[in-house]
Structure 1
Amino acid sequence: MTLTRLTPAATCVALLTAALSTAASAQTLKIGLAAEPTAVDPHYHQTTPNEALLMHIFEPLVAMNADMQMQPALAASWQPLDDTTWEFKLDPAAKFSNGEPFTANDVIFTFCRILNNETAIGGGSTNVARRIIGIDAPDANTVHLKTASPYPVLPNELARIPMIWSGMAQFENLTYEPAKGCGVTSAWPTVTDFNTGNLVVGTGPYKLKSYVKGAGIALERNDAYWGKTPAPWSEVRMTAVPSAGPRLTGLLSGDFDLIENPAARDLKRITDSGFEYTTKPSVRIMFFQLDVGRAPSPFVKSPKGADDNPLQDARVRQALSMAIDRKAIVDRIMDGVATPANQYLPEGMFGSIVGAPALEYNPTRAKELLAEAGYPNGFELTLSSTNNRYINDAQVTQAVAQYLARIGVKTQVDTMTSSVYFPRRARQEFSAALGGWGSETGEASNFIQYWVTTRNPELGVGSSNYGSYSNPEVDKPYLEAIRTLDDARRSELLQDSVKLALEDMANIPLHFESGVWAFRKGLAYDGRADQRTVATAARPAE
């Protein structure tokens, strides 16, 4: 070790720098959210607001960085041992906020809890867990995850699974037998247990201080955080303000240091007022999911009678797509802070169609397709959407309704808060539902798996297929792709599946959102392609 003697002047500078650094790290960061997280339960419902909150408190085995590239998290390394077995070496330094070490038992418990979580309303975690048929732990810092068939994207998928502490339940010997309870002798934790804060023990850089629905969320720095980079803020306060106008007012008045999703039309006002903003292209596709599996459908009225559902005809679905001017929506509704979508993942990402043509805007041809399908005078349809979850979600829905009306589809709009909307959508109460999905694995299989593939709980696919769409021709290349270890072949298969899905158009792509954040002077913020707003990405400006 080499010691360096500082001069008195240098000592003063060093002390001043340390003091300023300490002051900065002691600050409270106040964030204005566009939508309120619905739970602190890491396995309750996979929405961006929930996941953004959770990544402050919990961590996965494998993480995705701001550009959707995999990086080590609780697992220091991983490798396939054979076609159906992945080995993960856990970081021996990892520990929970209560000081307990993170071990293989916590991995086993996490997956067991996911498959015994009766309070969950989203199936994302469940789909991943169902693919794992066995977990072995050769030692406390090693786990072997076994799948029924080759599953090359398992590490990608694990980035979506926050790990929880096994000590929140009672057991004598944990074994991965979810159907038999895994050896757990106490009750499984519920969403209420997490929301009250009783069981919120994670390995992340922050701890939950308070969570009050409708009031706000407070986090405090985990001073025992095991990671290399400590949390930059001593406290983080998050408040949901669904309307962009009041949210911006909160920033300008000093109530917030950082806000997400300011209206694009306000960006000039932000800079003119001495504030700053950053944008980040995202992988979030906005789309309408159509109810094609039922006749009748609850919000469709057909001239052919009560038992008819026009959405079951692919020509009708293509007509609805052709009626929409995506570029106009991006320019006029999204103020340019989006990109028209011509498939379900931005081109250039794994499994996306290379050189995909723009989806055609052709209202004349749309009317012809309706007539060919037997609806020359259209039909009645209600579009359902959130009004506080996505950027301009209600306005986008209104715009789409106007486009459909121009081809003779008598369209109504029903918007509601996300807390009402998502449970209703999960119960399949809509006929045409607005969706937003960020492909967190960074490849095309993610959207196809959840929203397009025929529902099959045993295979862990189709959990978000609320339109009950089913096409074996779309399923076949996808199901082969997820068992194919050769990357080039897997990409070809995924492209085939995407092409077929676009031809059938059960999910109508609209645009890819761009993440936008505005913040006060003296602050710097790095956006993320998954649109999550995280305190660890904010820091004092250099």
Structure 2
Amino acid sequence: MKKTGTIAAALLLATFGAHAQTLRMGVGAQITSADPHFHNISPNNAFASMVFDNLLETDANARLVPMLAEGWRAVGEDVWEFKLRRGVRFHNGNDFTAEDVAFTLERIPQVLNSPGSFRTYTQAIRGVEIVDSHTIRFRTNGPAPLVPTDLAQVPMLDRETHGGVTTEAFNTGRATIGTGPFRLQHFRSGDRAELVRNDDYWGRRPAFATVDYRMITNDAGRTAALLAGDVDLIDQVPTPDIDRLRRNDRLLLSEIDAMRYIYFALDHMRTGPSPFITDNDGRPLDRNPLKDVRVRRALSLAVDRAAIVSRVMEGAATATVQVMPPGAIGFVPDLPVPRADADTARSLLAEAGYPNGFRLTVHGPNDRYPNDARIVQAVSQMWTRIGVRTQVDVAPYASFIARASRQEFSAFLVSWGSSTGEPMAGLRSVAATYDQARGTGAVNRGRYSNPEFDAQLARAARELDDAKREAMLQEATRMLIADVGIISTHLQKNVWAMRRGIAHEARVDERTRAQDVSLR
């Protein structure tokens, strides 16, 4: 047995040596666009961060670190000044300057048909002043302490290269030119991206000369590709495979608790009939039951979050009703996860005028989050037990999210992953009243609206004292959960698996990036 194992290990190393200059990655979610400003979701942002740089970024534990900006400081109550790094060039040789930063901020609100706008990160900025080629100032709507944190999420473009360029030009690869550690060589939407190392990169040199970035959304297919040696690393390791892969001496796992919470969004927009709600005979209801907080509380109380964690997620998650994990900024310690209570849920439905319940179709993706379709199925069964008779309709993420962004659904599974390490960006995007001009509610697809919640967020956004701001954000979270604006179920754990011979730095924001992989 020992001799066989030694031979296998030698063959493995020889095979890996043949591919040592190419990193083959299998990722579990599709990139919906190569335009770094089109859709603010984790897979797109992970891909963008290999080709483009931001002024700042967050490290593996969501702490701010300098990137294209070497320094930043508040120079007034409503002014931030950033000093830009000199000697940075775009892939086509153009110098990176303050004009490119100003152009980037101008472009973001002009991106057409964005299903998740980056405006959420720039809405505090009311004006830009170019001091010199490498100094820029941002004027804000009053005190705005989170400007550096927000701008750490915004990829920088080149005014000369990208002026007037459409999203389609990025998707063809013609316009996908950044300052990042890799250059895009080829992009096939929904399939793969091929990248080559930017040997003129201003920062740390990546370990691999080329990257084969494959989108393998089928869980079994992703694990099989790793075991067959077709890829070197996969993300979103399927929960049924975690223990099996952990025991495989040819493989290594990289894991970390995530800042992504899974939740169900509800139709808050319609007062009259909601498109996927009927009475028990299949007739549309005259009024939308989800507008009644008693109905929303009933649905939340019906959810057995502990069962989702243990049975569906197989332990690779943490039950929650809120938006940040324990120990993170904005976590509310005195907001425990309630036990499922079907009896109280039925009483609330009856009190709201639905003693016999109603019918509801629940939507969600089947290829975006670990066990997403199974979660939809499990929660739907829990709702059926209290009298809300459900049907399940899941679809590939690309088609599902397009419909969700058009407010076509009544109840549906989505998520938010914090890449800033604090709850402001998520609360502002997921639950603040949708306002395109102000940049709030960018992914508030259920169109929840609570003026008191909005006012609390606005106060927190202007508070310069970190402790006071956190207390304000905690109160905003309490308000959202008390009103059942969304129904959170759990926080994910991020798990990657890889062949021996390489190392990976796990990130709380779940981004899978080639620059985080190195040779052992």
Please report the TM-score for the alignment, with normalisation by the length of structure 1.
0.90
| CA distance in structure 2 between the aligned counterparts of 1:522 and 1:244, rounded to whole angstroms | 23
2:439 equivalent in structure 1: 460
1:138 equivalent in structure 2: 131
One-letter amino acid of the counterpart of residue 268, structure 2: V
User: Does residue 398 of the first structure (1) align with residue 391 of the second (2)?
Assistant: no
1:207 equivalent in structure 2: 183
Q: Deviations over 1:4-41 (max 9, x none)?
A: xxxxxxxxxxxxxxxx9xx8996100011111101110
Relative to 1, partners in 2 of residues 1:311 and 1:119: Cα closer, same or farther, differing over 3 Å? closer
Q: C-alpha displacement at 1:475, in angstroms? A: 1.6
User: Does residue 195 of the first structure (1) align with residue 171 of the second (2)?
Assistant: yes
Of 86, 99, 123, the residue aligned with 2:80 is 86
One-letter amino acid of the counterpart of residue 297, structure 2: Q
2:200 equivalent in structure 1: 224
Of 256, 267, 275, the residue aligned with 1:280 is 256
Q: C-alpha displacement at 1:308, in angstroms? A: 1.3
| CA distance in structure 1 between the aligned counterparts of 2:162 and 2:503, rounded to whole angstroms | 41
2:11 equivalent in structure 1: none
Residues 171 and 189 in structure 2, CA contact (< 8 A), matched pair in contact too = no
Q: C-alpha displacement at 1:130, in angstroms? A: 3.5
One-letter amino acid of the counterpart of residue 196, structure 1: T
2:4 equivalent in structure 1: none
Residues 256 and 507 in structure 2, CA contact (< 8 A), matched pair in contact too = yes
1:264 equivalent in structure 2: 239
1:180 equivalent in structure 2: none
Q: C-alpha displacement at 1:248, in angstroms? A: 0.5
Relative to 1, partners in 2 of residues 1:32 and 1:449: Cα closer, same or farther, differing over 3 Å? same
| CA distance in structure 2 between the aligned counterparts of 1:236 and 1:305, rounded to whole angstroms | 52
Q: C-alpha displacement at 1:499, in angstroms? A: 0.5
Residues 302 and 310 in structure 1, CA contact (< 8 A), matched pair in contact too = no
Q: C-alpha displacement at 1:247, in angstroms? A: 0.8
| CA distance in structure 2 between the aligned counterparts of 1:502 and 1:268, rounded to whole angstroms | 34
1:147 equivalent in structure 2: 140
Q: C-alpha displacement at 1:370, in angstroms? A: 0.8
Of 103, 107, 130, the residue aligned with 1:109 is 103
SS in 2 for 1:354: coil
One-letter amino acid of the counterpart of residue 257, structure 2: P
**RMSD (CA atoms):** 1.7
Unmatched 5+ residue regions in structure 1? 1-19, 171-187
What does 1:32-43 align with in structure 2 at a 5 Å threshold? 32-43=26-37
Residues 54 and 152 in structure 2, CA contact (< 8 A), matched pair in contact too = yes
| CA distance in structure 1 between the aligned counterparts of 2:314 and 2:341, rounded to whole angstroms | 22
Residues 74 and 91 in structure 1, CA contact (< 8 A), matched pair in contact too = yes
Q: C-alpha displacement at 1:462, in angstroms? A: 1.3
Of 255, 272, 277, the residue aligned with 1:300 is 277
1:414 equivalent in structure 2: 393
Q: Deviations over 1:59-114 (max 9, x none)?
A: 11010111011110100010011111100000113221222221001101111111
Deviates more, 1:125-134 or 1:362-371: 125-134
| CA distance in structure 2 between the aligned counterparts of 1:306 and 1:327, rounded to whole angstroms | 33
1:290 equivalent in structure 2: 266
| CA distance in structure 2 between the aligned counterparts of 1:27 and 1:327, rounded to whole angstroms | 44
Q: C-alpha displacement at 1:352, in angstroms? A: 2.2
1:470 equivalent in structure 2: 449
Residues 273 and 284 in structure 2, CA contact (< 8 A), matched pair in contact too = no
1:13 equivalent in structure 2: none
One-letter amino acid of the counterpart of residue 237, structure 1: D
Q: Deviations over 1:241-275 (max 9, x none)?
A: 11111111100001010001111221232133321
One-letter amino acid of the counterpart of residue 98, structure 1: N
One-letter amino acid of the counterpart of residue 291, structure 1: D
Residues 283 and 512 in structure 1, CA contact (< 8 A), matched pair in contact too = yes
Q: Deviations over 1:135-180 (max 9, x none)?
A: 111110100011122211111111110001111156xxxxxxxxxx
| CA distance in structure 1 between the aligned counterparts of 2:18 and 2:440, rounded to whole angstroms | 46
One-letter amino acid of the counterpart of residue 152, structure 1: P
4+ residue runs of structure 1 moved beyond 6 angstroms?
none
Q: C-alpha displacement at 1:459, in angstroms? A: 2.7
1:486 equivalent in structure 2: 465
What does 1:163-182 align with in structure 2 at a 5 Å threshold? 163-169=156-162
1:250 equivalent in structure 2: 225
Residues 37 and 49 in structure 1, CA contact (< 8 A), matched pair in contact too = yes
One-letter amino acid of the counterpart of residue 162, structure 1: P
One-letter amino acid of the counterpart of residue 48, structure 2: L
Residues 416 and 430 in structure 2, CA contact (< 8 A), matched pair in contact too = no
One-letter amino acid of the counterpart of residue 207, structure 1: R
Q: Deviations over 1:332-376 (max 9, x none)?
A: 111111110131111322222133212331111111111111111
1:344 equivalent in structure 2: 323
Residues 119 and 191 in structure 1, CA contact (< 8 A), matched pair in contact too = no
Q: C-alpha displacement at 1:389, in angstroms? A: 0.4
| CA distance in structure 1 between the aligned counterparts of 2:162 and 2:397, rounded to whole angstroms | 31
| CA distance in structure 2 between the aligned counterparts of 1:361 and 1:286, rounded to whole angstroms | 17
SS in 1 for 2:346: helix
Of 358, 368, 386, the residue aligned with 1:389 is 368
SS in 1 for 2:331: coil
Of 121, 127, 136, the residue aligned with 1:128 is 121
SS in 2 for 1:115: helix
| CA distance in structure 2 between the aligned counterparts of 1:24 and 1:499, rounded to whole angstroms | 55
One-letter amino acid of the counterpart of residue 206, structure 1: F
One-letter amino acid of the counterpart of residue 70, structure 1: L
Q: C-alpha displacement at 1:508, in angstroms? A: 0.1
2:7 equivalent in structure 1: none
SS in 2 for 1:277: strand
Deviates more, 1:207-216 or 1:127-136: 127-136
2:150 equivalent in structure 1: 157
